[in-house]
Structure 1
Amino acid sequence: MSVDLSFSTSTAHFNVRSAAIIRQHNHLLCTTFDGIDFWFLPGGRPKRGETSIEGLKREFREELDATIEVDAPHIIAESFFDLAGEHYHELAFYYVADCPPQVQFVTGEDCHHLEEEGWHYRFRWIELSPTVLTNIDLQPRALHSHFIDLPPLPLHIVFDG
C-alpha cells in the first residue's frame, strides 16, 4: 500500500496536498466531509513516488470517477493552521482544471456524494463572489480572492491561519 506524503511528530503534522481549481458559471467546485464545518477544494495527498499532478489525477478518478488535465500549478501555498487542537504545516499545489463531464453543475445542493474509508464526502458548487465566500467557511480563506481572479502563473503564498 502506498503512503501519503505526510508525517506527524508529537507536536505537529506536515501534509503535501494537490487540489483543483474548477470554475464554472461563476462557481467553484468544493468539497467537505462529515464531522468538519468548512469546505475546501477537491484533491488530496499524493502518495510516495507520485508527483503532485499524478496524485491529483488519481484522487479525481477515485473520488469523482473523472479524468482531469492539468499542467503547471497556479498557486503554491504554504499554510500553518490548527485543526481539532492539532498544529499543521501544509504545502499545497493548486491546479486549474476544466470541469469533467461526469461532474454535474447544479446549484443550491450537492452535486456528488462519496463514501470512502468510513467518511462521507459531499461536493458542491459555491458561488465565486466576495459576499458568498465571506459567509461560507471555504479554506484557506487567504486564497479567496485568487480563486475569484486567477493569478498569473505561478503564485507562491505563505500564510498563517
Structure 2
Amino acid sequence: MTVDLSFRAFDQHFNVRSAAIIQKEGHILCTTADDLGFWFLPGGRLKRGESSAAALKRELREELNADVDVVAPHIIAESFFSLDHLHYHELAFYFAVSCPPNLPFIVGKDCHHLIEGERHYRYRWIELSPEMLSEIDLQPRALHAHFIDLPPKPLHIMFNG
C-alpha cells in the first residue's frame, strides 16, 4: 500500500500536494467538504515515490473520473497555516489543466459530488473575478490573483496564512 507524502510530529504537520487549475468561461473549478468551511482546488496529496504530475493525474482520475494531460506546474507554493489546532507546512504544486470533457459546466450550483471515506466533497464552478473570490473562502487566498492571471512561467511563492 502506498503512503501519502505527509507526516505529523506533535502539533506540526508537513504535507505535499498537487492541485489543478481548471478554468472554463471565466470560472475556476473548486471543491469543498461539508465539514471544512472553505474551498480549494481539486487535487490531493502525493504518495511517497510519486511525482507531482503523476499524483495530480491519479487524483483527478479518482475524484472526477477524468484522464488529463499534466505537463508542468504554473505555481509552486510553500504555505504555513493552522487548521484544527495543527500547524501546517504545505508544499503545493498548481498545474493548469484543461477541462475534462465529462465534467458538466453548471454555474451557481454543484456540478459534481464525491464520497470518500466519511467525507462528502462538492465541486462548483466559481467566477474568476476579484469580487467573487473575495466573497467565498477559496484557499489559499494569497494565490487568487495568480489563478485569475496565470503566470507565464513557473512561479515560486512562500506565504503565511
In structure 1, distance between residues paired with 2:43 and 2:8: 20
Stretches of structure 1 lacking an aligned partner (at least 5 in a row): none
Deviations 1:18-53 (A, max 9, x none): 000000000000000011110000000111111111
Query: Taking structure 2 as the reference length, what is the TM-score of the superposition?
Result: 0.98
In structure 1, distance between residues paired with 2:49 and 2:124: 31
In structure 1, distance between residues paired with 2:91 and 2:14: 8
Corresponding residue number in structure 2 for 1:138: 138
Off by >6 Å, runs of 4+ in structure 1: none
Corresponding residue number in structure 1 for 2:31: 31
Match runs of 1:1-161 below 5 Å: 1-161=1-161
In structure 2, distance between residues paired with 1:106 and 1:138: 18
In structure 1, distance between residues paired with 2:21 and 2:11: 31
In structure 2, distance between residues paired with 1:14 and 1:89: 5
Stretches of structure 2 lacking an aligned partner (at least 5 in a row): none
One-letter amino acid of the structure 1 residue matched with residue 52 of structure 2:
S
Could you tell me whether the CA contact under 8 Å between 2:22 and 2:99 is conserved in 1?
Answer: yes
> Shift in Å at residue 84 of structure 1?
1.3
One-letter amino acid of the structure 1 residue matched with residue 87 of structure 2:
H
> Shift in Å at residue 58 of structure 1?
0.5
The SS at the match of 2:104 is: coil
In structure 2, distance between residues paired with 1:158 and 1:67: 30
The SS at the match of 2:144 is: helix
Deviations 1:87-107 (A, max 9, x none): 000000000010001111000
> Shift in Å at residue 11 of structure 1?
2.5
Root mean square deviation, CA, Å: 0.6
Could you tell me whether the CA contact under 8 Å between 2:11 and 2:85 is conserved in 1?
Answer: no
One-letter amino acid of the structure 2 residue matched with residue 25 of structure 1:
E
The SS at the match of 1:107 is: coil
In structure 1, distance between residues paired with 2:4 and 2:85: 22
One-letter amino acid of the structure 2 residue matched with residue 144 of structure 1:
H
One-letter amino acid of the structure 1 residue matched with residue 57 of structure 2:
K
Identical pairs, percent: 67
Deviations 1:107-145 (A, max 9, x none): 000000001111100000000000000110000000000
In structure 2, distance between residues paired with 1:106 and 1:7: 37
Query: Taking structure 1 as the reference length, what is the TM-score of the superposition?
Result: 0.98
In structure 1, distance between residues paired with 2:117 and 2:60: 16
